[in-house]
Structure 1
Amino acid sequence: MSLIDQIGTDIKTAMKAKDKVRLETLRGIKKVLLDKEVSVRPSGQTELTPEQEIEALSQIAKQRRDSIAQFTDAGRADMAEQEAIELKIIEEFLPTQLTDDEIAVIVAEVVAEVGATSPKDMGKVMGPVMQKLKGKADGKKVQAAVKASLAGS
């Protein structure tokens, strides 16, 4: 079952349960995935790959995290809470996020592989690390781990 089909089933369940927040969030996710699917059709692809689905979901989750930070800074706890609820629903469809320690291990491996020695090598390290962690870790956490690793080198 594709992710779009799974979300369609979840939409029906949310409708029956009259769970308005979940329903609206799932509809938003489905819209983003369908839009992304339409955008890849000119290249001959009929449906999204699992990687493309995770990439789209990661973007939606990142938008929610950014919104939470902005609403919190603006003193809008009610709006931040709404975004947090939506983020939790989105994260149900993403792979389990890695812990800071797991991220640090992967960062250390990549730093050794590329031979990075100073903070100037940040660009050399970030690309390969993000490839390995795509969808499994927040970019800001990864960036902080890379900075910490290179500062300690």
Structure 2
Amino acid sequence: MSTALKDQLKDAMKAAMRAKEKQRLGTIRMIQAEIKRIEVDERIEVDDARLLVILDKMCKQRRDSITQYVDAGREELADIERAEMVVIQEFLPEALSDEELDQIIVKAIADSGAESARDMGKVMGLIKPQVQGRADVGAVSKLVKAKLG
């Protein structure tokens, strides 16, 4: 059984093969390998929602690696990670604007009845499914903490 996002990945892989885009093809194959690994390890069929979580995690890993490579003065390695991140982000939905993010946070705080930073878990529980793949969850967490603080 395939999902829309998996089909999109498959089509992108075929297009990259035809166009002989080695780096792009390598990144798409890496995404597919990660999906397959999770499906085999957890004995599940990855759906689009879970695929967004996987892609989001892969982007976060790239961001962390870029920071480490730049700090170490290895710009050529950071460039490889940046190129991979661009390809991964193609399969993620459009990023949320600051205004959209702010509305989601304000609504989640109101819906959860949160009053202080102790209620952070309740608020993030409501926000996370809405922003997955569309915003950096770590950054969102800081914004929530600032509003609750």
TM-score (norm 2): 0.87
Which amino acid is 1:73 matched to? D
- 1:97 matched residue in structure 2: 95
Which amino acid is 2:84 matched to? E
2: CA distance between counterparts of 1:5 and 1:132? 23
Alignment of 1:102-113 (within 5 A): 102-113=100-111
- Tell me if the contact between 1:100 and 1:141 (Cα under 8 Å) persists in the aligned partners: no
Deviation for aligned residue 1:73: 2.0
Unaligned runs of 5+ in 2: none
> Is structure 2 residue 7 aligned with structure 1 residue 9?
no
1: CA distance between counterparts of 2:8 and 2:122? 38
Deviation for aligned residue 1:138: 0.9
2: CA distance between counterparts of 1:80 and 1:140? 21
Count of residues in correspondence between the two structures: 147
Identity of aligned residues (%): 42
- 2:133 matched residue in structure 1: 135
- 1:38 matched residue in structure 2: 40
- 2:112 matched residue in structure 1: 114
Deviation for aligned residue 1:53: 1.4
SS at match of 1:97: coil
Deviations 1:73-95 (A, max 9, x none): 22222211211111010011111
TM-score (norm 1): 0.85
The partner residue of 1:72 within 70, 73, 79 is 70
